[in-house]
Amino acid sequence: MLKNGEIAPDFALHDARMQLIRLSDYQGQHHVVLYFFSRDHSPGGITEAVEFSDRAETFKSLGTVVLGVSLDDCLSHEAFQDEHGIEFGLLSDAEGEVSRLYHVLRETAAVGMVKYAIERSTFVIDRQGVIRHAFYHVLPKGHAAEILSLVKQLG
């Protein structure tokens, strides 16, 4: 598990519009809220995304970029954003590489098959690329408000 004070692992993933997004692109300029969720169109995924989206302008006014990551592909993310009016970037980690870097990918066995799923987690990363807050086992309802209050403390 990653801990507060560690350097956030850099990565490059495509967003819903097929733009390549690198964490390091924001270093020195913006704080980043990086949250991992199970999948588009799931009840928890909708709740969390809508709550972050409802606060997108406030995050932006605080110099903070919100990025959501799941194993879904870019086309799924695009449909999800359009359907729910999501106002921030959703990144596709279809191979699970970034999810592994952040220790949020969990292996589950069902009916003799191994599947991988993301454990809902959030990282608040400051402008220097340092993890200021790391949360694993996140509940979606009310989480965006909690994260916003922490970002306000970053200055």
Tell me if 121 sits within 8 A of 3, measured CB to CB: no
Tell me if 105 sits within 8 A of 116, measured CB to CB: yes
Share above pLDDT 70 across residues of the chain, in percent, rounded to a whole number: 100
pLDDT confidence of residue 48? 96
CA distance 128 to 138: 24
Domains delineated in the chain: 12-147 (3.40.30.10)
Q: In 10 A of CB 85, how many CB atoms?
A: 11
Q: pLDDT tens for residues 28-75?
A: 999 999 999 999 999 999 999 999 999 999 999 999 999 999 999 999
Does residue 110 have a pLDDT over 80? no
Helix (H) / strand (E) containing 133: strand 131-136
pTM given for the model:
0.94
